[in-house]
Structure 1
Amino acid sequence: MENRPCYDLDTLKSIIKIEGKIRNETPLRIGYGKSQSFTDATDNPILRVNGKPIIPGSSLKGALRSLAEAYVRSWSEEKYSFVCDLEDKECNSCDENKYCIPCIIFGFKDLSSRVYILDAIAENYSISQRTMVTISRVFGGQLPRHLYTLDYVEPGSFFNFSMFMYNLNIVDGESEEWKNKAVEVMRYLLKTLVTEGIFIGAKKSAGFGLIKLTSGEVELRKLPDLTRPVKQNLMEVIKSW
């Protein structure tokens, strides 16, 4: 453990909570598979909880992790540009000389995640249906008798967003070099989510699923007194980066 300083979650040093609103800029579709019910009005219903559309926390975390891996691979520093092979069960990315930054942030194997993202539940939303056609890859035209309908959340709908980060201080930065690299990645992810947005859900290549974080508040709790939070506007914090 002494040779693996990225294992530092045994002591609570800081907690950051981010709460805000996600808006889908384009139609959003996160489904639960082809309907097997005769009561559904569509072939491809969207995922809901208590009747409200949701963006699962696992979907958000997976999209952000993929973006983090692509960002880290673009670095010229060989020591930090390494990304763990998630398919390699023997992979050991964290040691005293080389760290897999995405794994330090999002966890892997016996390394716990520092980031926790809750399901984003829709607040103000509307749902529509669209009839789609299946395109023949051979002829490049519509396949006869291959129409289907799907549900989607209309653009401009809002979802609640909640994220927690442990021992990763994106507000003030960190002292250790490897952790500062992790902070840099988290700042990049949040800045991208606010400014450009990320794609999530189905039919992304057809323009569906672009979401942005439109508002938010950062709550920082750190030693020596974890009970006294410091709250800041997320948009102002991001502007200062």
Structure 2
Amino acid sequence: MVNYTFINKSVIKRTTVIEGVVETVSPLRIGGSKENFDPSSLARDSILKDVQGRPIIPGSSWKGIFRSTGERILRLKNIVVCSGVGKDYCLNNTQKEREFDSGLRENIIDQALRLFWDYTCLNCKVFGTKSVIGAVRFLDSLPISYSLNTRSMIAISRTEGAVARRALVTVEYVDVGSKFNFKMMGYNLPNYAIGYLVTIMKNIHDGFTQVGGHKSRGFGFVKFNIVKFTDLGEKRIGDEDVEVKGIGDLVEGNGDEFFVKMKPFMEAFNNAKIPYPKK
């Protein structure tokens, strides 16, 4: 019988927390909406701020960054994965959504669990999908220390792909050396899923993934500092999980040191034989 602990949210058998400090290595810009517009600012393209006027990296942005980065990592390993965008999600792609919804509606939980386990990718299980909450939560990242700056840039028309008529726009951004807190919580994550998330973090830390907008202009490079990993509960989730040795309930490290200490989890991800999704 398959162990569905990873995707079953009714009982929490393992809680993992990764928290630390994110430092900007290049300018950072998370765009604000029209409602977020600051009339006192010289910028006409302002960043997202909280009610106190501080820059913020929303948890939803982190989730999107992690999911898209993970998608690229999984595809490079020839592991089937959906984008989760629009209609490109596993239950729709495998035409199992109606049967899955029926199981939920009629309270046939075993059927729903089996379908979700068999026919969804690692990204769907970790980050969630339509009608299903993910196994991880990202908190909003608030600033510890920061400075804001502006820069005039050539505006590009999104519809025409060319220089807009009003060619210059003043862009607001968070300056280099600013620091934000970071916190991600996971529930019932197998060791290989923890290794997957740490691999994504290292991808961001090493500069292979950028955060926010204006990536083509060199914005969005960040690194992780003073990172702490806390692991409470069972140390192996599911029959397909890979055992991790030599790591206790708490791991701490500064940047590169943290990823060296977490290497056994990343190796668990690299060595895992992921049995889903079915074709």
TM-score normalised by the chain length of structure 2: 0.68
The alignment status of 1:110 with 2:131, answered yes or no, reads yes
Matches of 2:46 and 2:81, distance apart in 1:
39
> Could you say what secondary structure the match of 1:208 adopts?
coil
- Offset of 1:111 from its aligned partner? 2.4
**In the alignment, which residue of structure 2 is the partner of 1:176?**
none
Counterpart of 1:25 in structure 2 is 25
| 1:148 equivalenced with 2:169 (yes/no) | yes
Tell me the equivalent position of 1:47.
Answer: 48
Name the structure 2 match of 1:209: 220
Query: Cα deviations across residues 57-94 of structure 1 (Å, max 9, x unaligned)?
Result: 11111011001111112223xxx424365433751495
Matched, 1:15 2:34: no
Per the TM alignment, residue 15 of structure 1 is displaced from its structure 2 partner at its CA by: 0.7
Q: Is the 8 A contact 1:198 1:212 kept in 2?
A: no
Q: How far is 1:99 from its partner?
A: 3.7
Q: Tell me, in whole angstroms, the C-alpha distance in 1 between the residues paired with 2:17 and 2:230.
A: 5
**Residues 1:160 and 2:181 aligned together:** yes
Distance 1:110 1:232, change over 3 A: same
Unaligned runs of 5+ in 2: 98-114, 236-247, 264-279
Aligned to 2:231: 220
C-alpha change, 1:144 and 1:216, in structure 2 (3 Å) is same
Which residue does 1:194 correspond to in 2? 205
CA distance in 1, matches of 2:37, 2:55: 19
The structure where strand makes up a greater share of residues is: 1
Identity of aligned residues (%): 30
1:138-159 C-alpha deviation (Å, 9 max, x unpaired): xxx9777532212111111100
- 1:7–1:111 contact (8 Å) kept in structure 2: no
Residue ranges of structure 1 left out of the alignment (5+ in a row): 174-179
Q: Is the 8 A contact 1:18 1:162 kept in 2?
A: yes
| CA distance in 1: counterparts of 2:85 and 2:198, whole angstroms | 23
Structure 1 residues 96 and 113, CA gap change in structure 2 (3 angstroms)? closer
> Does the residue aligned with 1:65 lie in a helix, a strand or coil?
helix
Q: CA RMSD in A?
A: 3.1
Q: Is the 8 A contact 2:84 2:124 kept in 1?
A: no
> 1:108 and 1:52 mapped to 2: Cα distance?
31
2: CA distance, partners of 1:26 / 1:45: 17
Q: What number of residue pairs does the alignment pair up?
A: 221
Aligned 8 A contact 1:121 1:159 in 2 = yes
Aligned mates of 2:234, 2:157 — CA distance in 1: 61
3-state DSSP class of the match of 1:205? helix
How many angstroms apart in 1 are the aligned matches of 2:195 and 2:234? Answer: 21
Q: What is the match of residue 133 of structure 1?
A: 154
Letter aligned with residue 231 of structure 1: L
Shift of 1:215: 2.1
How is 1:168-183 mapped onto 2 (pairs within 5 angstroms)?
168-169=189-190, 173=191, 180=192, 182-183=193-194
Q: CA deviation at 1:43?
A: 0.8
SS in structure 2 at match of 1:17: strand
> Does the CA-based 8 Å contact 2:27-2:173 persist in structure 1?
yes
Give the Cα–Cα distance (whole angstroms) in 2 for the partners of residues 127 and 222 of structure 1: 42
Contact 1:46–1:152 (Cα < 8 Å) also in 2? yes
- What TM-score comes out, normalization by structure 1 length? 0.78
Distance 1:150 1:81, change over 3 A: same
